[in-house]
Amino acid sequence: MRNLPVVTKNLLLANVVVWLLDSLLQRYGVHLVEWFGLMNWSFSAFGGGHASFHLWQPFTYMFMHGGFDHLFCNMFAVLMFGPALEHEWGERKFLLYYLVCGIGAALVQEAVWSLFMPGQLAVTIGASGAVFGILFAFGWLFPDTPLFLLFIPVPIRARVFVIIYAVIELFLGLGNFAGDNVAHFAHLGGLLFGWLLILCWQKGWFKRGIHLASDDREKGERDFSGYHYHPSENN
């Protein structure tokens, strides 16, 4: 943890602390998900009672998780890919990207609920939308970096991995299979907003009055030696 860049480290700590607090309060009958999970806004509009949508939920939902396995998978992805992006972009730009992807994922999920589940009770939690945005950005910036997956014995280039993952998510989301309670369209929403934000940066938008590119650090001064990822190994 000492060697992790500051935003990645604090994202990990924030998610773990919120999960521990939520687990503790559940023992006393307090469920934070009712206030901080992402609720279907149309359910509230039709008189949802205590399970109501609140404006802060598109932000807070991404720091909550349903169990240790859910938390572990998302934070493992942040740990693996976050440091490379934070060193490439700088702290503020990486944090902005993470939050935009998470909030964008929430907006897409709300839109899907409004179209296909109007007035029905639905809730989602987790950092998966923001994590999918991180995966997309890594594949965009370091497309030829080989990734090794436990269930595939050969390395897969980052851009190929992102494409395969996106196609699977789209298939599962459209399939709407029985027993599948994963918010697949929220994952795709994180990818969509990550792609849009990167395109905006490439076109030079949002630069006026905002300095985000490098946090006053020259790119050549960033040291990757303490991390698992090394840019020299791209090819």
Q: Which residues contact 128 (CB under 8 A, 6 or more apart)?
A: 74, 105, 183, 186, 187, 190
| Residue 14 belongs to some domain of the structure | yes
| Residue 93 belongs to some domain of the structure | yes
CA distance 152 to 68: 24
Task: State the pLDDT at residue 51.
Answer: 66
Contact 159, 143 (CB under 8 A): yes
Contact 116, 173 (CB under 8 A): no
| Residue 230 belongs to some domain of the structure | no
- CA–CA distance from 90 to each of 13, 18, 93, 188, 221 (Å)? 19, 25, 6, 25, 12
Domain extent, residue 193, equals 6-208
Task: State the pLDDT at residue 229.
Answer: 41
| Residue 21 belongs to some domain of the structure | yes
Task: State the pLDDT at residue 68.
Answer: 93
Task: Tell me the one-letter amino acid at 28.
Answer: Y
Side-chain half-sphere exposure of 131, counting CA atoms within 13 A: 23
Contact 121, 51 (CB under 8 A): yes
- pLDDT tens, per residue, the chain with 235 residues: 678 999 999 999 999 999 999 999 999 999 999 899 999 887 765 555 556 888 999 999 999 998 899 999 899 999 999 999 999 999 999 999 999 999 999 999 999 988 888 878 889 999 999 999 999 999 999 998 888 776 677 888 888 888 887 887 777 766 666 555 677 788 889 999 999 999 999 888 766 544 444 444 444 444 444 444 444 444 3
Pick from 128, 22, 134, 132: nearest CA to 67: 22
| Residue 169 belongs to some domain of the structure | yes
Q: What CATH number does residue 202 fall under?
A: 1.20.1540.10
Q: What tokens were used for 26?
A: 């559940």
Pick from 183, 209, 213: nearest CA to 97: 213
| Residue 215 belongs to some domain of the structure | no
| Residue 220 belongs to some domain of the structure | no
| Residue 108 belongs to some domain of the structure | yes
Q: Which residues contact 107 (CB under 8 A, 6 or more apart)?
A: 58, 189, 193
Pick from 116, 125, 97: nearest CA to 190: 97
CA distance 3 to 9: 9
Which helix (H) or strand (E) segment is 155 a member of?
Answer: strand 152-157
Task: State the pLDDT at residue 44.
Answer: 67
Number of domains in the chain: 1
Side-chain half-sphere exposure of 192, counting CA atoms within 13 A: 15
